A and B are shown apart, each in its own frame.
Chain A
Amino acid sequence: MIQKKIREKAKELLEKKVVDLIVGFGEWTLPLRTTPIFIRTPEGADHLIWNSFCENNLATYLHKFSHFKVGVVVKGCDARSITALSLEKRFKPGQLYLIGVPCQRMVDRRRVKKAVKGEILRAGEQGDQIIVEGEDFKTALRREDFLYPSCQVCIHRTPRQANVLVGDPVEETPMVETHPEIKEFEKKSPEERWDFFEKESSRCIRCYACREVCPMCYCAECFVDSSNPKWIEKSLSPSDIEFYHIVRAYHQTGRCSGCGACERACPMEIRLTYLTQKLNQDVKELFSFETGIEAETPPPLSTYDIEDRQEFIK
């Protein structure tokens, strides 16, 4: 039982004072969701939970606790973000203790909600099914049909860099070879691609939830917030919105673990991962590099070598 092991490990770490606090997932008020929680006492560890709704990337919170020793519950993608952040020297050696969970892939709550009529009041899991209940219905859905796109393509579900694994490693194969939206996107002409991007980003309300949930977005001052120099205006004009989205995606190249947190955070359901995952795919093809897999290899776009390919210079 993964949940039991997470609690035991968390309790032990807090009792032995290996860490000051544990960042994990807890139960909250809405069905199909969990919430990030922060545990500081051994007794508190019993609030930690594990299920298919642990969709947040908890690596984001580590920036907040730079003065503490932190234990953190991680999925494969969260651990990859942490490795990438370590390469960017965001943590002191030995500051973190990763409680690694081989991930079962997370459930896309929005798709579940759209699949049933009426409000879901209770949700749970039974084997390979998600059971959702409302006022006058109870339905079982096949879990496999409701996984996040980023989870469907995920290969590295077992957190390699974890200090401890609380479950058996899972196989390193994706459910689907290519991100379904990238496949569609690649078929389009440049004009159609732009139309798609324009249509998606037109819903943006500039709440920056995609930026704030992302563990890799930690710049002390984001370029959109800078007033001197001013790179971008703050209103809802399409060109400013599009500029933000393009720069956000490009800034992730070779740094994004593909966790999909940005897309899940968007209240306007703007599709975002087709951009970042496409860039990930390109980096993999061009440089044989995947974010956060090797603890010592820096991302290709952050290094320089005289042997670098130069054919793009014309």
Chain B
Amino acid sequence: MNLKLNKKDFKPFLQTLMDEYDLFAPVQLTEGVSVYKKIDHPGEVDLSTANPQKPMKEVFFPQSETMFRYEKVGEQNQVVSTEEVKRERIILGARPCDIQAVSLMDEVFSGKEYTDVYYINKRNITTIIGMACGHPFSTCFCSSTGGGPFLRNGSDLFFIDLGESFLVEFLTGKGMTFQKNKFFGEASTEEINLAKALEEKALHKTDASVPVKGIEKRLDLMAESPFWDRVHEKCIGCRVCTYLCPTCHCFDIVDEALTNKGQRVRNWDSCLSSLYSLETSGHNPRPTNRERTRQRIMHKFNYFPKNFGRIACVGCGRCILYCPVHFDIRQAINWTSAKRLKLQRGEPLTNP
């Protein structure tokens, strides 16, 4: 069933959600920079930018998360675990790419081999309201990575921006429970048709030509390829691409300790950091940028598919947009499929 929500009712609608749930949505921190945050006032929600800099994963997997606290009281050691999040949550405004990415993280954090209580707790109590991507950027290539600007998978409800209103689709049992919200009204046939036309248009706009098909096999043969000598060259080893990546999920667990108390915290980690694989002895099996760049590409397009049967890239384009030196992962993927790279002769890697 399709209903609609008039934009003039948007803020009161958000208020009805906030009365019962913790609402998370994109919030602008300064002009052009936004993140997903818990909403205190409906006016904070900003749906004007396609994708916030920081991806939705942060709601389930915060950049810094305290796992437990400990303290020595007299002769006793006390350990207090971080409390379970009880209040139900809603994420509003997430794009299909970020939602796809969370389904990849599910494989890791609530998979067969390992279940992560911190992640699963937040994941289980969250309803996702997806937002169709009517205006994909030129850097978007979700259509290449098995997604799409209107992909509904993973959303409980799905909003399509029609200009004056949103068309609302209810996709799961969880989503259906919202049907009785007083601000939803009947959608007309014209509105449903308009949504279909927008979907058609958006589909044509995202790049479906990035050759990810077969990349796992190609990379199998490339572990020691001179390709890596060139592809990493301009990378400066910052963590922008990995921290802003909706699928990157590596973390580092540290104790933040004072004299007699402390907390165990897990922070996002990045394979491009020199600390990432540094061993206690001082040895680093990934001593330079070359090995770290290889790790980034391999994890996304070779190891992850080997473990879970899907590539760990959703084509959101953040790593392309925000890289300080303009590394373009689409090019790296392209080069893996080039018939003959003129690497030995030392020519620069250029646009194919």
Question: How far does the Cβ of B320 sit from chain A's closest Cβ, in whole Å?
Answer: 7
Interface centre among B54, B267, B322, B325 (most CB of A within 10 A): B325
Question: How far does the Cβ of B98 sit from chain A's closest Cβ, in whole Å?
Answer: 16
Given the known inter-chain contacts A119-B138, A205-B243, A236-B64, please indicate yes or no for A40 contacting B325, CB distance below 8 A. no
B30 lies within 8 A of A269 (CB): yes
Given the known inter-chain contacts A41-B347, A267-B322, please indicate yes or no for A208 contacting B238, CB distance below 8 A. yes
Interface centre among A21, A30, A40 (most CB of B within 10 A): A30
Question: How far does the Cβ of B29 sit from chain A's closest Cβ, in whole Å?
Answer: 5
Which residues of chain A are within 8 angstroms of B64 by Cβ–Cβ distance? 234-237
How distant is the Cα of A275 from the Cα of B275 in the complex, in angstroms?
A: 28
Surface stretch bound by B, among A31-39, A90-98, A243-251, A279-287? A31-39
Q: Which residue of A lies closest to B30 (CB)?
A: A269
Interface centre among A33, A203, A268 (most CB of B within 10 A): A268
How distant is the Cα of A92 from the Cα of B215 in the complex, in angstroms?
A: 42
A-B contact count (CB 8 A): 128
How distant is the Cα of A237 from the Cα of B321 in the complex, in angstroms?
A: 26
Which residues of chain B are within 8 angstroms of A276 by Cβ–Cβ distance? none
Which residues of chain A are within 8 angstroms of B265 by Cβ–Cβ distance? 233-235
Counting CB contacts under 8 A, is B345 at the interface? yes
Contact flags A180-204 to B (C-beta < 8 A → 1, else 0): 0000000000000000000000110
A269 lies within 8 A of B32 (CB): yes
B240 lies within 8 A of A267 (CB): yes
- Interface residue count on the B side (C-beta < 8 Å): 49
How distant is the Cα of A43 from the Cα of B239 in the complex, in angstroms?
A: 34
Surface stretch bound by A, among B68-76, B100-108, B229-237? B229-237
Question: How far does the Cβ of A311 sit from chain B's closest Cβ, in whole Å?
Answer: 38
Given the known inter-chain contacts A41-B346, A235-B267, please indicate yes or no for A119 contacting B137, CB distance below 8 A. yes
Q: Which residue of A lies closest to B266 (CB)?
A: A235
Given the known inter-chain contacts A41-B345, A234-B252, please indicate yes or no for A36 contacting B63, CB distance below 8 A. no
Surface stretch bound by A, among B179-187, B299-307, B326-334? B326-334
Within 8 A of A (CB), among B317-352: 320-322, 324-328, 330-331, 345-348, 350-351
B275 lies within 8 A of A225 (CB): yes
Name the contact of A26 in the complex, choosing from B33, B256, B348 (C-beta under 8 A).
Answer: B348
Given the known inter-chain contacts A33-B326, A225-B274, please indicate yes or no for A60 contacting B236, CB distance below 8 A. yes
Contact flags B219-255 to A (C-beta < 8 A → 1, else 0): 0000000000010011011111001100000001010
Name the contact of B351 in the complex, choosing from A29, A33, A39 (C-beta under 8 A).
Answer: A29
Which secondary structure dominates chain B's binding surface? loop
Question: How far does the Cβ of B146 sit from chain A's closest Cβ, in whole Å?
Answer: 22
Contact flags A7-35 to B (C-beta < 8 A → 1, else 0): 00000000000000100001111100111
B238 lies within 8 A of A212 (CB): yes
B325 lies within 8 A of A36 (CB): yes
How distant is the Cα of A267 from the Cα of B252 in the complex, in angstroms?
A: 22
Question: How far does the Cβ of A227 sit from chain B's closest Cβ, in whole Å?
Answer: 8
Within 8 A of B (CB), among A102-146: 110, 113-114, 119, 121
Counting CB contacts under 8 A, is B31 at the interface? yes
How distant is the Cα of A250 from the Cα of B265 in the complex, in angstroms?
A: 29
Given the known inter-chain contacts A119-B137, A207-B243, A213-B324, please indicate yes or no for A29 contacting B236, CB distance below 8 A. no
Within 8 A of A (CB), among B173-227: none
B238 lies within 8 A of A207 (CB): yes
How distant is the Cα of A47 from the Cα of B237 in the complex, in angstroms?
A: 24
Which residues of chain A are within 8 angstroms of B145 by Cβ–Cβ distance? none
Counting CB contacts under 8 A, is A264 at the interface? yes
A234 lies within 8 A of B240 (CB): no
Counting CB contacts under 8 A, is B143 at the interface? no
Q: Which residue of B lies closest to A36 (CB)?
A: B234
Counting CB contacts under 8 A, is B139 at the interface? yes
7 A-B Cβ contacts within 8 A?
Answer: A40-B346, A61-B234, A113-B32, A203-B33, A205-B243, A206-B239, A268-B33
Q: Which residues does B use to contact A, with CB under 8 Å?
A: 29-33, 53-54, 63-64, 135, 137-139, 230, 233-234, 236-240, 243-244, 252, 254, 256, 265, 267, 270, 273-275, 289, 320-322, 324-328, 330-331, 345-348, 350-351
Closest 6 CB pairs of A and B: A40-B346, A265-B324, A235-B64, A209-B238, A267-B322, A35-B326
Give 20 A-B pairs besides A110-B32, A209-B236, A267-B53 with Cβ atoms closer than 8 angstroms: A27-B351, A28-B351, A29-B320, A34-B326, A37-B348, A38-B230, A38-B348, A43-B347, A44-B346, A47-B348, A114-B32, A205-B243, A207-B239, A208-B273, A209-B239, A212-B238, A213-B325, A234-B252, A236-B63, A269-B30
